[in-house]
Amino acid sequence: MPFVISRVNVPISDAQEKELKQRLGKAIELVPGKSEEYLLLDFEDNCRLYVRGDSSKPVAYITASIFGNEDHCGFSAFAAEVTDIFRDILGISPESCYIKFDDIISWAVNGQLIDRRNYW
């Protein structure tokens, strides 16, 4: 299950959040085997984010945690699309959009552990 946390230092309106959700749901399909059906999203707006000591420009720090993709297939295309999404919807320039990828080795849902090492 992919989990994308978006932290931005600008406000996000309800309409913008809906558009972010919709476009990120399509973007995750760039990662093989992933879809919006299992995508978990978190939007945190008005964060105190500084880049090079400056907080006056719009900035995004995004964490994409993805299970079962140790070769990082599709990550580059996903990163490019996410950068475009945040530029288009929130006006955050590409050089101020930072994306961190976390490899999920194991996670649990419904009380059941799923471990990548034993999954396939």
Burial of residue 51, with CB atoms counted within 10 A of its CB: 0-12 exposed, 13-18 middle, 19 or more buried: middle
Question: pTM, whole model, 2 decimals?
Answer: 0.92
How much is the pLDDT for 119?
Answer: 56
What domains sit in the chain, N to C, each tagged with a CATH number?
Answer: 3-119 (3.30.429.10)
How much is the pLDDT for 117?
Answer: 73
pLDDT digits (tens, 9 = 90+) for 86-97: 999 999 999 999
d(Cα 45, Cα 25) in Å, to the nearest integer?
Answer: 19
- What one-character-per-residue DSSP string does 101-119 give? EEEE-EEEETTEEEEHHHH
The yes-or-no verdict on residue 55 having pLDDT over 90 is yes
d(Cα 35, Cα 31) in Å, to the nearest integer?
Answer: 8
